Amino acid sequence: MNNDKKNRSPLKNPLVIFLVISVIATFILNMAMMSFQSPTSQEIAYSDFLKMLDEDKVDEVVFKTEQIVIYEKYDESVPVEINTSTALMQAMGIDTEALVEKAKENSRKIYYTGYIYNEKLLDKLDEKGVEYSTPIQHSNPLLDFFLTWILPLVVIYLLFFILTRSMSKKMGGGGIMGIGQSNAKMYSVENATGITFADVAGQEEAKESLDEIVDYLHNPAKYQAIGAKQPKGALLVGPPGTCKTLLAKAVAGEAKVPFFSLSGSEFVEMFVGVGASRVRDLFKQASAKAPCIIFIDEIDAIGKSRDNQISSNDEREQTLNQLLSEMDGFDSSKGLVILAATNRPEILDKALLRPGRFDRRIIVEKPDLKGREDILKVHIKNVRTEPDINLHEMALATSGAAGADLANMVNEAALRAVRCGRKTVSQEDLMEAVEVIIAGKEKKDRILSPKEKRIVSFHEVGHALATAVQKHTQPVHKITIVPRTMGSLGYTMQMPEEEERYLMSKDEILDQITVFLAGRAAEELVFNIKTTGASNDIERATSLARSMITQYGMSDKFGMAGLESIQNKYLDGRSVSNCSEETKTSVDNEVVKVLKECYDTALAILKDNRDALDEIAEFLIDKETITGDQFMEIFNRVREGRNKDAQDNAEESE
């Protein structure tokens, strides 16, 4: 296909033909309309022309429509030079006298002036013996017909051809008459999706809901016998990367039926009515292939609520109305099922979600610990790995990751193994891939100064000590002061021991805020300075403290009042205030109070464990990266030594 495009002659390109014809037409018009005025002519005033006539300097006059061309007499005192010798020209039979006369005629100066009607001018020309004439315009009927009729029609046709061809490409290749045809991609029984539920892991509840649709498509009589009707549509709702599209394809693969896939944005065009036409065409095709599945990805592009008149769109609303009409019109007993996916269910039109249209809402959440481990097994089965890899450890380290994130991590681990010259993926590759996705690659070219390196080291150990001392925190897995490409100069990685937590108590939130602020506390305690390295820690601590007060009902002052709500929970999770400006001010004061108390707690923890802080930080400066086990070994050793010294001092005092 690409070779044909490369070998295609440029002369077959309509744009090239149009440009060539335009250039030729312009040249012909210029030749037809151009003035034959000599390039050496000079404009003079009419009075100067009369003066030349009086002085007998005019040899010939040509009257044109808007000007008079004056040929000056040749000055006999100026000799005419001919480069070729006269004897040679005579030997060649050339009339030298005629050649001289021709040279004299060509050397005349030519002037022109504007035409002014003067009855006495012709008499004066006759009196001076000046020749005068008027050129006859010879018209070509064939050329006039071509320029007047043929050329404009050719130009209009070429413009129409190029415009319609461009529109046909944008409208799906069906030409100007196929502007409303569907661009749906259909997988027939022979060319099925090739995806089954075995290829989708970590979404057992969603698969269970969709498995009923598959069973109905295989055995509709079983449901019809009891009087049950298959839901017409199912809406897959969840964050990005949770395999909603993959689930839809798996339904078609399990049911072995045709699969129509179309994005919601592909329905909407600049022409009003095109989207509605495409909806009709899509359902017409699907009805002919029933039983089958129609999948509309990102349905919020056409299914947005019609209540907001400010941002209304006639084309989108007509498309939505047509979709609602088609969903009411088809018979679900034929096995026609509509699946749709969205990240923003809260903005969908209520008419789209009522029973009889999208009857079922299937939540596709981010996977839990077991789900992440199952997803990793699916993605790693085609990767050559070492026999001792531990996917459970990787699943523990990837809390909050979606299926697409986990697939990316497995691929990143395989790429790292290739870069390192190994033929199998190791556990080190997998864990490093987790850190690459979370924090970015190591920046080996960014060399910190000794002072900055010490500050970063004490900062990260401050986080780790606050984690180790407090009860309601997750254990430290790794501490590093190697800069990363996403901007961090170091980080402390925490990881749950065996299971994932879904609830957080107030004590756990306060302990986590203390951990966030312990890095800044270490900087001030050891170096008596404040750096920009704590900016992300402060941002996360402030957000957590505000959520605790406004959403979780954990504030002594406001009690269980919900002062903020979450919008777009499956996307950015932006919070929206539900209180007055005065209450917002009080909330800000309460947040500051919580942060100050947690900061004081962090400072007290570090003061009590200053010996451990110094020793672990110096060890980290030397090694740059230490594991959680190494950290806890040093911390326990220092704490035991301190307790022993305290006990000895107590015995001596007694």
CA 426 to centroid of chain Cα atoms: 34
**Please, what sign has the CA dihedral across residues 24, 25, 28, 29?**
negative
Q: Are 236 and 209 in contact (CB under 8 A)?
A: no
CATH of domain 369-438: 1.10.8.60
Distance linking the first and last C-alpha atoms of the chain: 95
Task: Say whether 118 sits in a helix, a strand or coil.
Answer: coil
Q: Within the chain, which residues score under 70 in pLDDT? A: 1-40, 75-107, 137-139, 164-192, 268-273, 307-313, 331-332, 444-445, 498, 650-651, 653-654
Q: Are 196 and 253 in contact (CB under 8 A)?
A: yes
Q: What is the DSSP string of 207-254?
A: HHHHHHHHHHHH-HHHHHHHT----SEEEEE--TTS-HHHHHHHHHHH
CA 45 to centroid of chain Cα atoms: 67
Which residues are within 8 A (CB) of 113 and not within 5 positions of it... i.e. 6 or more apart? 43, 44, 45, 46, 48, 49, 67, 68, 70
The architecture in CATH of the region 450-645 reads Up-down Bundle (1.20)
Single out the residue of 377, 513, 493, 504 nearest to residue 435, CA to CA. Answer: 493
Checking DSSP bridges between strand 42-43 and strand 110-114, what pairing results, if any? parallel
- E strands of 545-615, at which residues? 564-567, 574-577
In angstroms, the CA 224 to CA 207 distance is: 22
The CATH H-level (homologous superfamily) assignment of domain 180-363 is: P-loop containing nucleotide triphosphate hydrolases (3.40.50.300)
Task: Say whether 637 sits in a helix, a strand or coil.
Answer: helix
**The Cα angle at residue 113 between residues 109 and 115, in degrees rounded to 5:** 140
- Per domain, the residue ranges of the chain are 180-363, 369-438, 450-645
pLDDT, position 172: 47
Cα dist from 615 to 87, 242, 490, whole Å: 114, 44, 18
Which residues are within 8 A (CB) of 175 and not within 5 positions of it... i.e. 6 or more apart? 164, 168
H-assigned helices in 381-492: 391-396, 403-419, 427-439, 450-469
Q: Are 369 and 398 in contact (CB under 8 A)?
A: no
Backbone angles phi and psi of 521, in degrees to 5:
-60, -40
Provide the whole-model pTM: 0.67
Long-range contact list for 157-162, CB < 8 A, 24+ apart? 158/14, 158/17, 158/18, 158/21, 159/18, 161/14, 162/14, 162/15, 162/18
**The Cα angle at residue 516 between residues 512 and 517, in degrees rounded to 5:** 120
Q: Are 147 and 21 in contact (CB under 8 A)?
A: no
Active site residues: 460
pLDDT, position 514: 96
Long-range contact list for 537-541, CB < 8 A, 24+ apart? 537/463, 540/516, 541/513, 541/516, 541/517, 541/595, 541/598
Find the helix packing angle between 314-329 and 274-289, rounded to 10°: 20
Task: Say whether 575 sits in a helix, a strand or coil.
Answer: strand
